[in-house]
Every structure is written in C-alpha cells, then in structure tokens.
Amino acid sequence: MPAIPSPRTPAQLFRAGRAFQHSLPEGLEHLRDTYGPVSAFGIGPTRTHFLFGPDANALVMKNEDNFRFSGAYDMLRPIAGNTALVTTDGEPHARRKRKARPSFHRGGAEESTRLILASIDATIDSWRPGQHVDVHGALRSAIRSAMLRQFCGERLAAREDYLATELERIHELMDRPLPQQLIAWKLPSTARRRALDAIAAVERLIYEEIRRRRRERDPGGRGAEGRMPAGDPGVQGQPPADGPGDLISVMLSADGPTMSDQEVRDMVVSALIAGYDPVGSGLGWAVYNSLNTPGVWQRLREEASAAPAPDATSAAEVRELRYTQWVVQESLRTHPPVVMSPRRCVRSFRFQGHLIPGGSLVAVSEYITHRSLAVWREPDRFLPERWDTSREGHRAPTPFEYLPYGYGGRRCIGANIASVVLPAALSRLARRTTLELRTRRPQFGGIPALIPRDGLFVEVGAAPREEKAGSVLTKDPR
C-alpha cells in the first residue's frame, strides 16, 4: 500500500503551512498541485487527509454513518455548543434539524428574504454618489441585522449593536488563518479569551429570552397582543403574521419534539454564526464577479427592470430571473462560501489505492471541485452562460461536481433561504445602484466563509432613476 503523499521535509512543511496561512483555497490548491488528489497534512490531532474531486465527495457525503461531523467540527464546540447541528450526528441531529425546518422552508424562507431585502434597501438608501464603500462589509451587516430579527425576534433585535459587536468578536478568531486558529483554540490566548467572552455575552441574552418566553408561556415572544401584525417589514420592522415566526419561537413551539434550553440556544447561535457570513460572502462575490465581468451588471439590471415581479421574494418569482440565477450559480461555483467540508471517519476505508485509518480527520473541498479542469471547461473563468440549459453542449453537473450547499442529510439548512435571497438581492442591487469596482484583485480570507480579506470597495455612482422606490425603474440616465 503506497504511503499517503504529504509534506515531510522542513521545506515542504514550510511551503504547505505558508500556503494555508495565506488562505484556505491556496493551502488546498498547494496540496492538490504538489501531492495530487489524496494527501495528508498537519500534526497530532489536526492531521487531516484531503480527498479531492467528485468521487471523494460522493464517498464522504453519501456515507454519513462512516463520515461524521462529531469529532470534525470540534473547534466550533465552544461556540456552536454540544447539541448544535454541526457537532452532532444520527437521530439527535435529524430530530433537531426537523424541528427547525419551518424557519427555513417556504414561509420562513420568504420571511427571511423580505427582511433581508428591506435591510439591504436601507443600506442602499444610505449610500451617496461618489462615496467609496466596502460593499461586502455593508451587505454582510445588512444581512446580519435581518437575521438577528428573523432568528431571535424583536426584543433581541433591539440590542443589535451590542449583539453585532459580540458576534464579530467571535468571527475575529474564526476568520484567522487555519494554522493560527488551531493554535489559538488549543492554548490560552487573548484571542480565545475574547471569543469565549463574546459567546458568553451572546448566549446570556439568548438564554434570557428563551426563559422569559417559557415563563410567560409565549413561545413567539409577541406579548399579550398575540402575533405581530402583518405588514411591510421594511416599514414596521416586524415579521409578518403569516410566517412561522422567529427561530426561537419555532424551536419552542408545541409542534414536534420538545427542545431543551440548550438545544434552542445551540440552534439559534449556529444559525447566526453559520447564516449571515456565507450569505454575505455569496452576495459579496456575486457583486464582485458581476462588476468585474463586462456587460454582466447591465444585463442583470435589464432583467430586473423587465421582470414581472421586480420585488421578487418567493422561489417562484426568483425563478423568473433566469440570467440572475446563472450569475449566482456561477459565482457560487467560482467562489463557494464554504470551501472545505471536514469529517471524522469511524472505520478505515480505501480511496484511490490508499488506506485511510479509522478515526482520521478527512476533508473534501467544494472549492477544489468547482475549479477542477476534469469537470469544468475554463474553470477559473466567470461564465454565467455555462448555466444556460438551452446552450449546445450544455451538461448539468452532478450533485458531487457542484455542491455549494453540500449534500444529503447534511445539506445546508439555510439553502432554501440563500437560494432565494442571493438572486433577489443581486437583482435589487443591480436595479437600484450603479457601482464601480475599486478593489481589483481581492485576496481570499475567512475560514467559515470565503470573504474578501481587505474588503471589496466600490464607488457609488448616480442611482438609476426610478419612478418610485420598489417600482420598475425607468431608463438608466447614464
């Protein structure tokens, strides 16, 4: 049995470490280019076996009983908690995921989209012509604000400034380059202390809210008046009455299994931590790719202005935005917010002639698969038209060749929200703004989600003239 290729000499270890220190995609590319589709890197408990390509994805993602989350996402345990989706497997995981479902499907996804679009509208309204803004940072904050409301309810959304500061402190550690982060979590350090203090501050408020709702027998947290009135969330700042309510209320509801305080806390914290970051990343990169590729922004705008439902918030309405969908799909291909998926294997297994021992940490990579020459023509080029099913020679990728939201029982719980929000928000931005890219070559950063490390700066141009906010725009004056 051949030894698993891996960096061994000090020089090889230095080169691999430096690539991961630069960014996660660079580290993974270095391993693929130097050692091939199977390699191992890291020391002690962090030593990971990297398996690249669609066959590896299929093996790992189809066999959930052998490739587990527990033991793979342990770094997230102090934050996400011991009952979180990312730290559990099997029946407990499936039961909690089912319970949270109403927040992430149909009504819940539409409610999220409405809140996020209202928040993005307010952000666009604050921009002035000539201003330079970090569009990724601004959109990420807008999404965070809407998700705080959607997951935690009005009372905690009123503490947004405080909660946002603490959430960002947690991300400060989680976004460090992988080698630094692994060390920071293992040893006492200021960064670790700050992240732990921040999570304690966030969970204190969440526990208070859970207990208050239980005490007052008011799972929805909507007080004696009952449900909040229906209406425009942008105007009233409240979720409409026809949706499932916020995530805390869904987790506390009498439908389905009863959840402990910790299970509710862990679900809400995970949704916050795993929610706004990848959606902000997906939207930020979609804006970047659209502005960086001639003609794309204009075409997005034309489609938005001609759309029968210019303020699309449902999956059906968003499906009509065909070109916008291609742009989002292509951007999630070239810049998948989740770059790599780790697992802990229970039993030994063979892959491409190598024996990987039971108990090993294993990782597959969405990023490497999406940029693979064996799967994609010109993988590094941003080509929205490759998603046009009517195009000659079009071939739909398999679920293991294109997997921005993962696969199977562990598929992203927020995928429904994200797949409506991303095209809806991109279309809204193209309809309402004229932006000129100022960051030409953004560097990769971020670990839980791929982000532009030093921001994504644009210059705001004169807004396209609209008849009135929320209506179809008239001709672009420029």
Positions that interact with ligand HEM (CB under 6 A): 69, 85-86, 97, 270-271, 274-275, 278-279, 282, 337-338, 341, 366, 404-406, 410, 412-414, 417-418
Nearer of residues 17 and 282 to ligand HEM, judged by Cβ: 282
Nearer of residues 185 and 367 to ligand HEM, judged by Cβ: 367
CA distance 394 to 206: 48
Nearer of residues 69 and 326 to ligand HEM, judged by Cβ: 69
Beta-sheet pairing, 451-452 with 457-460: unpaired
Q: How far is the CB of 57 from ligand HEM (least distance, A)?
A: 10
Placement of tokens 């090889």 in the chain: 12
Nearer of residues 279 and 304 to ligand HEM, judged by Cβ: 279
CA distance 51 to 30: 13
Q: How far is the CB of 404 from ligand HEM (least distance, A)?
A: 5
**H or E stretch at 95:** helix 90-104
Q: Measure the N-to-C terminal CA separation of the chain; round to a whole number of Å.
A: 66
Q: How far is the CB of 97 from ligand HEM (least distance, A)?
A: 5
Half-sphere exposure of 423 (CA within 13 A, CB side): 30
Nearer of residues 7 and 136 to ligand HEM, judged by Cβ: 136
Give the DSSP letter of residue 454. T
CA distance 399 to 393: 19
Q: How far is the CB of 156 from ligand HEM (least distance, A)?
A: 16
Nearer of residues 101 and 453 to ligand HEM, judged by Cβ: 101
Written as one string, the DSSP assignment of 60-76 is HHH-TTTEESTTTSGGG
CA distance 130 to 85: 44
Q: Is 412 annotated as a binding residue?
A: yes
With CA atoms as reference, report the closest residue to 178 among 370, 401, 363. 363
Nearer of residues 336 and 464 to ligand HEM, judged by Cβ: 336
Q: How far is the CB of 417 from ligand HEM (least distance, A)?
A: 5
Question: Is-contact 27 12, C-beta < 8 A?
Answer: no
CA distance 397 to 427: 25
Q: How far is the CB of 89 from ligand HEM (least distance, A)?
A: 9
In 129-247 the beta strands, taken as DSSP E runs, fall at 132-134
CA distance 23 to 453: 9
Q: How far is the CB of 289 from ligand HEM (least distance, A)?
A: 14
Nearer of residues 182 and 417 to ligand HEM, judged by Cβ: 417
In the chain, the amino acid numbered 471 is S
Residues 6 or more apart whose Cβ sits within 8 Å of residue 98: 256
Question: Is-contact 266 81, C-beta < 8 A?
Answer: yes
Q: How far is the CB of 100 from ligand HEM (least distance, A)?
A: 8
In the chain, the amino acid numbered 41 is F
The DSSP bridge partners found for residue 356 are 349
Nearer of residues 413 and 451 to ligand HEM, judged by Cβ: 413
Q: At what angle do helices 106-126 and 135-152 cross, to 10 degrees?
A: 140
Alpha-helical regions (H) of 216-351: 233-236, 247-252, 261-292, 296-306, 315-319, 322-334
Q: How far is the CB of 461 from ligand HEM (least distance, A)?
A: 27
Question: Is-contact 367 311, C-beta < 8 A?
Answer: no
Placement of tokens 């003609």 in the chain: 295
By beta-carbon distance, which residue lies closest to ligand HEM? 414
Q: How far is the CB of 273 from ligand HEM (least distance, A)?
A: 8
Q: How far is the CB of 155 from ligand HEM (least distance, A)?
A: 20
Nearer of residues 85 and 287 to ligand HEM, judged by Cβ: 85
Phi, psi at residue 15, to the nearest 5°?
Answer: -65, -45
In 10 A of CB 457, how many CB atoms?
19
Nearer of residues 421 and 460 to ligand HEM, judged by Cβ: 421
Q: Which residues are annotated as a binding site for heme?
A: 412
Binding-site residue positions: 412
